Structure 1
Amino acid sequence: AAVALVTPGWWKPPPAGNYNPWAPMNIFISGIVYERLAYWIRKPGFYKPILAEKWEITPTKVTVYLRKNAYWHDGTHFTSKDVWTTFMIGKAFGWTVWLYLDRVEIPDDYTVVFYIRKPGVLVPRYILTTFIHSPYHRYGKWAEKVAKAKTSEELNKIREEVIAYRPDTLVGTGPFKMKSITEAEIVFEKFEKHWAAEKIVIPEIKFPLIYAREVAWAEAYAGRIDYAFWIPTALHETVRKEKPWIRIVYTSDLAGPALFFNLKHKWLKDLRVRKAIAYLVDREAACKAAAVILPHGPAVIPTGILNEVVDEWITPEFKAKLDPYNYDPKKAEALLKEVGFTKKEGKWYTPDGELFRLTLIAPGGWDDWMAVAEYIASSLRDFGIEVDYKTPEVSLYWAKLVPGGEFDMCIGWWGRWYFFPLESFRGILVVAKPGAHPWAAYPWVGMPEVIELPEIGRVNVTELLITLETTFEKEKQIELVQKLAYIVNQYLPAVPIGEKLSPWTCQELRFRFPPDDDYTWWLCPGDHLGALAIMILEGKVVPIPKE
């Protein structure tokens, strides 16, 4: 009998979990169950068609032509109505793409036209990489309501109705459909009506439901897991020698931890104090601390631009104007004294004569980020700055504390999974505007909208971000990126610490996986199951014949 591929799952079966992709605690299995219109392949940079066969992009619209041989797992034909339904409900849920879209129309069963009211560099990617997970025959009634809704109150009511819906099973268009589910595992079988069924040589995928990394490692060590299992960093080299059939493929996560400052804090709003702290954070040492859990590569220079592409955006001449913030306690001391701080018996005191004390928070349970935060707290304490270090529960952290600015310093994301630095800049330069609501998971640091700096003069940060978002010529993009990098580097609302280097694991006891340099591994950051689906569809994961 053919062998099932095994990879860890982490979802909760019903009733704790559910099959509604819009509801909290849903069982969302990308690539395997739910498919995108297309995948964006970060390296070397191209789209791979999935539910879309082709598309046409103009400044005013994106026209997508769908494949005609796709089906939902319940046997219903996949059509443009399903794409329309997904995007219309997405409107009620405040999807970013609707900042740019005017409307979505479906002239026939296999054509979708997205009309653009505001151009944006990433708009085609927002559209094409969307998961189409809401078939019209299940969710269409709410999409129709969204199309008629006139007020935010109506949209809120529709959103509540959608969230409350509980489908009886998991239905996608992906290469595998759900066969069984228990408290211990979810099993998926090959979907015989999939548009690429003839290429699928894996008969089943089993997801043992594992909620602790150590358990996943124990199962993998025993040879019972084939793909995507955790290996303690300290054991990487040992495992390579003892079990040569286990492979570890490293890619940048295209994101990582940054130290964010609350600019409303009495002393942190002074740039000299922020710079002093930046000089006390040895980014290489911080990354070494994190590497006990997961390897990290230090940010080459704090700009918000990922290491892999910094030279693509920053010219050598402009780089000379930036501060690398190399570890330098003497510079930190001089800056604090310039502000009026004093040091007595190894402790720093503010110009008011009070002990200089800061609160630093990191998400509880994120061991690598906690290691970075612990290093930073230790470094500042060694220098004489008191630090209250806390690790709030992770959902509270991202939903309330970080977007609410309830911290003096916090660890937050930078890089944000794109080589094009717009999203990273957006995440660091979150402008505080009257009446504006903080974005979930974006640190609310009180960044002013208009600032003045040497080299670039007086600039409006929001206008710069919007201009970059709507500029398509590379030379003009470089000019804008350099200005925004200069703001990150010289105004310093945050200090990017390092990029997480994610180890993607497989063991070749029962299956062959693609070579380390295959582009599919670059799909893993943020979507390792989507990467697995592409590997399977391209015939790059195949059973090893028994001798």
Structure 2
Amino acid sequence: MKKIAISYSVTRRRFLRDATLTSLGIVAAACTPGSTSPSPSGSGATSTKGGEFHGAWPYDLPPKGHYNYFASAGIILQGAIYIDLFQPPLATWMWSDAKWNYMLAESSSLSGNVFSVKLRPNIKWSDGSAFTSKDVVTTFVVGRMESFTIWNYISKVEADGDLGVKFTYKTPSSLGERNILRVSIRPDSIYGAIAKKAADLYNAGKDNSSDEIKALRTEKDNLRPDPISVGPYKIDKSSVTEAQLTMTRNDGGLFADKVNFDKVIVYQGETAQVTPLVLAGDVDYATHGFPLATDKAFVDAGIRVIRGPGYTGPAIYFHWEKAAPFQDKRLRQAVAMAINKDESAKVTYGDSAKSQKYMAGFSDNLVPQWLSSADLGKLNAYAYDLNKASALMTAAGYAKVDGVWAKDGKKLEFEMYSPSDFADWSSAADHAQKALNNFGIKIVPRSAIRSQQLPDVNAGNFQIAIMAWGIGNPHPQGSFIQALRTHNTIPAGGGMKYPLKQGNTDFDALIVKMGDGFDTNAQKAPVTEAALAFNDLLPVIPLWERYGNNPVNDKKRVAGWKADSDPVYKNPWSTDAFTTLMIMDGTLHKI
């Protein structure tokens, strides 16, 4: 077979996990502390055991690919929903019910400033060791080195017996629950020694800026363990090839008695490689951001397509220094109006993409829940308007020279960098560069596969780039982190180097404030301030929000998919993914 690119890359869903793997556990559902979970949605008694589920995801082969699930890059299945099948979280948020569906945890509660988690008993890792509080404590202590956002709010995490964990808040926050419960749990058997060293360093007064912690992070990143699972499935290391990998049952793992499939097979590949597999019936479910023509081909072939809000999409990022003219917000505002975002959405996804009327930094689906009607009226939609865009350029002191906007003899000429293996982002980039060239900002397109483009952007090796805005989370904080920190202040290379203090606006402080306290009504003030500032300053320019066009083959191997109207599809297909939820609770089964 032809050798294909197999490097890790991040689609609209996977970018979400990028943020999780960079700041790890960054945001929370706005929920009542200590809420109870609903029962699993499946009816395992009527399910048929056996058979296979076929998914798809890109990954790197070893030695570049590996099983260190605390490393910054190269993780096999990094960003995939299928990680929940072998390193599940403590709980999954049910978006429609606004309740937790407990997984590795059995329950949770808040008493004063202490959040307690009770773990399920009698669960084993695939190496035979028992799942205990040590695994949870180790996960969060190592996660402190990785800037898990929960450490903005807690002072310590400690075991409370073998099946209890206590998190002590230093700053009360409604964000705490999700920042704790939705994190994938890693094994103490692999990371325990690293966690012990980290704890000693923190107790000695060191922080993440210290040379000692930096060296320990490097030591941690260099670990190359074998795959290990505490979920219902485990990766068969010998099965991992350029084409696919196989997960088999982990009999002692979480929900091992509920799942039906004997195997979960994940085909390797991005959109171009996975499309023919879907059409041939080899893949039961995929989330690869398929272009409009492929979407139509699926429908014509009788393949069901699930469409639901994704809470994210592509955006234009400007490097603060290497695209310095765009430090003037008027130029960014002009760019927003020079691109017909409705057209960009339509040509890319048809009914599965929508431009944002609020341009507030998080999904239009969520904005009215956080801003008053009066504040909603202050938001500029930046509708397509070349006259208004030109007026902004003129006001900023620019005039056209040979059809290109220029000032002080310098024309606006830049390179736009996009991921070539993301068909939908490539479409958005192509539409944007053509629109801007027509408007008078000369754009030279540049592309590379995501495994190259992502580290280049994080290292600041770009002028203008197509990256993600928004994140699949019911609280807006995560979307602001995605736009303002993930490819900016978090990467060691500085990313886009956008200063988070702009005039009287301190985005970094607002991001923290919007998570303060357990009262979500009080959080609306900093969310509103950040949204209004984002809308005015446009630190990044959202092009559109992706809605799902996820093909489901319900005729060949897998039965049990729920009707399109079922509330389970209010869960994003990325985090809190409805598909892995329905695998783990026994809803999906063989035909």
Q: Measure how far apart 1:72 and its partner are.
A: 0.9
Q: Name the CA shift for 1:506/1:440 in 2 (closer, same or farther; >3 Å).
A: farther
For 1:445 and 1:139, the matched residues in 2 are separated by 33
Asked whether the equivalents of residues 33 and 176 of structure 1 are also in contact (C-alpha less than 8 Å), the reply is yes
Question: 2:198 pairs with 146, 163, 174, which one?
Answer: 146
1:424 paired residue number = 479
1:103 paired residue number = 156
Q: Name the CA shift for 1:407/1:371 in 2 (closer, same or farther; >3 Å).
A: same
For 2:381 and 2:491, the matched residues in 1 are separated by 29
What code does the residue aligned with 1:206 have?
Answer: I
Deviations 1:130-178 (A, max 9, x none): 11121x33432222222222343333333333333333x4211111234
Percent identity at matched positions?
26
2:360 paired residue number = 303
For 1:162 and 1:267, the matched residues in 2 are separated by 40
Q: Name the CA shift for 1:378/1:130 in 2 (closer, same or farther; >3 Å).
A: same
Asked whether the equivalents of residues 291 and 349 of structure 2 are also in contact (C-alpha less than 8 Å), the reply is no
Matched, 1:25 2:74: yes
For 1:262 and 1:140, the matched residues in 2 are separated by 39
2:15 paired residue number = none
Asked whether the equivalents of residues 103 and 254 of structure 2 are also in contact (C-alpha less than 8 Å), the reply is no
Matched residue count: 526
What code does the residue aligned with 1:500 have?
Answer: R
Q: Name the CA shift for 1:442/1:470 in 2 (closer, same or farther; >3 Å).
A: farther
Q: TM-score by structure 1 length?
A: 0.87
Asked whether the equivalents of residues 363 and 370 of structure 1 are also in contact (C-alpha less than 8 Å), the reply is yes
For 2:275 and 2:467, the matched residues in 1 are separated by 28
Give the structure, 1 or 2, with the largest relative contact order (CA under 8 Å, sep 6 or more).
2
For 2:440 and 2:59, the matched residues in 1 are separated by 45
Question: 1:401 pairs with 434, 457, 461, which one?
Answer: 457
Q: Name the CA shift for 1:142/1:251 in 2 (closer, same or farther; >3 Å).
A: same
Question: 1:359 pairs with 415, 418, 432, which one?
Answer: 415
Asked whether the equivalents of residues 414 and 444 of structure 2 are also in contact (C-alpha less than 8 Å), the reply is yes
1:454 paired residue number = none
For 1:30 and 1:450, the matched residues in 2 are separated by 38
More deviation in 12-21 or 42-51? 12-21
Matched, 1:495 2:541: yes
Deviations 1:39-70 (A, max 9, x none): 12334432110010001124522111001121
Q: Name the CA shift for 1:241/1:489 in 2 (closer, same or farther; >3 Å).
A: same
Question: 2:292 pairs with 218, 225, 233, which one?
Answer: 233
Q: Name the CA shift for 1:217/1:387 in 2 (closer, same or farther; >3 Å).
A: closer
For 2:400 and 2:219, the matched residues in 1 are separated by 59
1:201 paired residue number = 260
Q: Name the CA shift for 1:287/1:107 in 2 (closer, same or farther; >3 Å).
A: same
Q: TM-score by structure 2 length?
A: 0.81
Q: Name the CA shift for 1:538/1:394 in 2 (closer, same or farther; >3 Å).
A: closer
More deviation in 324-333 or 355-364? 355-364
Asked whether the equivalents of residues 298 and 305 of structure 2 are also in contact (C-alpha less than 8 Å), the reply is no
1:47 paired residue number = 100
Q: Measure how far apart 1:527 and its partner are.
A: 4.5
Matched, 1:324 2:381: yes
What code does the residue aligned with 1:200 have?
Answer: V
Asked whether the equivalents of residues 514 and 535 of structure 1 are also in contact (C-alpha less than 8 Å), the reply is no
Q: Spell out the pairing of 1:103-502 with structure 2 (5 A cutoff).
A: 103-134=156-187, 136-149=188-201, 150=204, 151=206, 152-167=210-225, 169-179=226-236, 180-183=238-241, 184-208=243-267, 210-228=268-286, 232-243=291-302, 246-264=303-321, 265-291=323-349, 295-350=352-407, 352-402=408-458, 404=460, 406-429=461-484, 438-439=490-491, 444-447=496-499, 449-451=501-503, 458-502=504-548
Q: Name the CA shift for 1:485/1:2 in 2 (closer, same or farther; >3 Å).
A: closer
Asked whether the equivalents of residues 412 and 443 of structure 1 are also in contact (C-alpha less than 8 Å), the reply is no
Q: Measure how far apart 1:36 and its partner are.
A: 0.7
Asked whether the equivalents of residues 178 and 187 of structure 1 are also in contact (C-alpha less than 8 Å), the reply is yes
For 2:393 and 2:240, the matched residues in 1 are separated by 59
1:542 paired residue number = 589
Q: Measure how far apart 1:286 and its partner are.
A: 1.9
Q: Measure how far apart 1:407 and its partner are.
A: 4.2
What code does the residue aligned with 2:396 have?
Answer: V
What code does the residue aligned with 2:166 have?
Answer: V
Asked whether the equivalents of residues 398 and 440 of structure 1 are also in contact (C-alpha less than 8 Å), the reply is no
Q: Measure how far apart 1:112 and its partner are.
A: 0.5
Asked whether the equivalents of residues 357 and 387 of structure 1 are also in contact (C-alpha less than 8 Å), the reply is yes
Asked whether the equivalents of residues 431 and 462 of structure 1 are also in contact (C-alpha less than 8 Å), the reply is no
> Which of 1 and 2 has greater Rg?
1
1:74 paired residue number = 127
Deviations 1:237-286 (A, max 9, x none): 4433432xx22111222111122344555532223322222221211122
More deviation in 89-98 or 278-287? 89-98
Q: Name the CA shift for 1:372/1:235 in 2 (closer, same or farther; >3 Å).
A: closer
Q: Measure how far apart 1:9 and its partner are.
A: 4.5
Q: Measure how far apart 1:126 and its partner are.
A: 0.9
2:52 paired residue number = 4
Deviations 1:283-308 (A, max 9, x none): 1122224328x942111221113121
Q: Measure how far apart 1:327 and its partner are.
A: 1.1
For 2:384 and 2:444, the matched residues in 1 are separated by 22
CA RMSD of aligned residues (A): 2.9
| Unmatched runs of 5 consecutive residues or more in structure 2 | 1-48
1:532 paired residue number = 579
For 1:363 and 1:196, the matched residues in 2 are separated by 37
SS of alignment partner, residue 83 of structure 1: helix
What code does the residue aligned with 2:562 have?
Answer: P
Q: Name the CA shift for 1:182/1:364 in 2 (closer, same or farther; >3 Å).
A: closer
1:455 paired residue number = none
For 1:407 and 1:214, the matched residues in 2 are separated by 25
Q: Measure how far apart 1:76 and its partner are.
A: 1.8
For 2:441 and 2:60, the matched residues in 1 are separated by 43
What code does the residue aligned with 1:341 have?
Answer: Y
What code does the residue aligned with 1:197 have?
Answer: A
SS of alignment partner, residue 515 of structure 1: coil
